[in-house]
Amino acid sequence: MTDPISHFGRKAQIESANRQAVAKGEPRASSPASDGVRPLAPPATDELRLSKIAQEALQEPEFDRAKVEAIKTAIQQGQYPLDSRRIAENFVAIEKMIKG
């Protein structure tokens, strides 16, 4: 659909046709709104640069697998310490946040 005021849809169609024509080696279609102004060429390649901190974060494991396995084993054997009072207090805090 073309916007009757800005002809945005028509511009998009012409630009798409121009990209296809350039790829095939054909001459470009003319745009009624171009008035001899050439659009800027897109960059040749995209490049992503990560900071040192981001690179280090990607290299570190997200969790300690050995610790997770130790906790699983302790839970299965009934040896993982649970503080029922602390659990209940946290549930009360969650309920208060939900109710507002």
- Quick check: is 46 in a domain? no
Q: What is the pTM of this model?
A: 0.30
19 in a domain, yes or no? no
What pLDDT score was predicted for residue 15? 74
Is residue 30 a part of any domain in this protein? no
Can you say whether the dihedral through the CA atoms of 73, 79, 84, 89 is positive or negative?
A: negative
DSSP state letters, 44-96: S-------HHHHHHHHS-SS-HHHHHHHHHHHHTT-S---HHHHHHHHHHHHH
| Domain-located, residue 64 | yes
Domain carrying residue 56: 52-99
Per-residue pLDDT tens digits of the chain, which is 100 residues long: 555 565 556 666 777 777 776 677 666 555 555 555 666 777 678 888 889 988 888 887 778 889 999 999 999 999 999 899 999 999 999 999 998 7
Counted domains in the chain: 1
Give the HSE-up count for residue 46: Cα atoms under 13 Å, Cβ half-sphere.
Answer: 1
Domain assignment present for residue 41? The answer is no
| CA distance linking residue 90 with residue 97, whole number of Å | 11
For residue 15, tell me if it sits in a domain: no
User: Quick check: is 6 in a domain?
Assistant: no
Q: Is 61 domain-assigned?
A: yes
